[in-house]
Amino acid sequence: MQKNKFKNVAVSPESPKWNQAVARSEKLYSRFNEVRDEFSRDYTRILHCTAYRRLKHKTQVFSATRNDHICTRIEHVNHVASVSQTISAFLGLNTALASAIATGHDLGHPPFGHSGEHIIAAIAKKYLDKSFWHEKNGLYAIDCLETLKDPRGVEKNLDLTYAVRDGIISHCGEVDENAIFAREEAVELETIESPGRYQPYTWEGCVVKISDKISYLGRDIEDALTLNILTKSQLSELGHILKDSLGKKAEVRELNNTVLMHDFIMDLCRSSAPDKGIRFSPRYLDLINRVKQFNYKNIYFHKRLANYIKYADLVLNSIFTALKEFYKAGRTLAEVQKNSRQTPFLVKSFEEWILKYSNADEAYRKENKLKNKILYNLSCEKDYIRAVIDFMACMTDHFAISVFNELISF
């Protein structure tokens, strides 16, 4: 296989996209002895933010499992980063950029995986007439919610580069298409209102988009096997899919995540080129889509997950209802604080949230050196509802369950 086929279109100082790719809304502080490039700085800023830490307790497919070896969202993110770096290094792309996008690509996922996403989307539509989808929420999180302290201890927003922000909101969409090409024009990312509308601005973003699919399909099958979700006949069906897609003469080895990931990576590296796009060969494109269909039929829509979805709906809507009742226009903060005896765990966390992101107490912001964006005016009910939704979307499964248990305990 030919290496470095994408070297001339990689994001680098020589690239015509460079200035746009490294652009930030605000200039970051600098150190005289800095050794990292712009995208490496983004990577470490993502790695140190609280949204990344919470991924370890967010659902990938199976929620709040007691088995420590079942994949959570943070493991999936690390898989995507590994696959993206391997592919980018072979193709001659910018590995630091690919790693930063991959590490941040799922920061916008709410608790309870895609079920939680649908539940919160329904709440946002009903009360704000706004759409909610995790890629858009990921951009919102890194632009508005996540903060880090600068060398003076002042807490500010992450202010990541355009290329990383773009890769996060553009990683949505499936790979049913024959190939993915980086788009040429820069768009205002905040104005994107539907998933899958744009391909990524960089080839590195395109690699992350496909690496996302490479990373989860086989891993989800492994977890289903561990939890006895799949039957012997379903495993036989999966074996037939492999042989049928790859041909009778193809080598079909033991079906596990590392085998599937390796074969998809090799095929992608072999098949992709700047004039052909980031792509699989026809037989591996057929295989990845058939494995995806198999997973939806036999894993993601499995009857054992039905009660979990009902439970997630009960948990999240109960939390929303409880917080919504605290709204009292100009007296909202006082109303929240008044309920601290009944639900101290919930109230303390939510009080800290609105103090950080609202104009309710400027003295608090000054005392805590908060220079992050103010997002909510608590006198406005819609702003308050947005605060509740944002607060819920940032929760881990474990945190949401703990809050719910407090709500139903006496």
Confidence at residue 248, expressed as pLDDT on a 0 to 100 scale: 57
Cβ atoms 46, 104 nearer than 8 A: yes
Structure confidence at residue 251 as a pLDDT band (50, 70, 90)? low
Structure confidence at residue 259 as a pLDDT band (50, 70, 90)? confident
Structure confidence at residue 249 as a pLDDT band (50, 70, 90)? low
Q: Residues 90-122: pLDDT tens digits?
A: 999 999 999 999 999 999 999 999 999 999 999
**pLDDT: is 257 or 251 the higher one?**
257
Phi-psi region of 92 (alpha: psi -120 to 50; beta: other; left: phi over 0): left
Q: Distance between CA atoms of 173 and 171, rounded to whole angstroms?
A: 7
Q: Distance between CA atoms of 187 and 167, rounded to whole angstroms?
A: 12
Q: Residues 111-150: pLDDT tens digits?
A: 999 999 999 999 999 999 999 999 999 999 999 999 999 9
pTM value is: 0.95
CA 7 to chain centre: 27
Domains of the chain: 34-107+146-301 (1.10.3210.10), 306-407 (no CATH)
Residue 95 tokens read as 């590995």
Cβ atoms 97, 202 nearer than 8 A: yes
Structure confidence at residue 32 as a pLDDT band (50, 70, 90)? confident
Structure confidence at residue 38 as a pLDDT band (50, 70, 90)? very high
Q: Residues 358-390: pLDDT tens digits?
A: 999 999 999 999 999 999 999 999 999 999 999
Structure confidence at residue 245 as a pLDDT band (50, 70, 90)? confident
Question: Is the pLDDT confidence value at 293 over 80?
Answer: yes
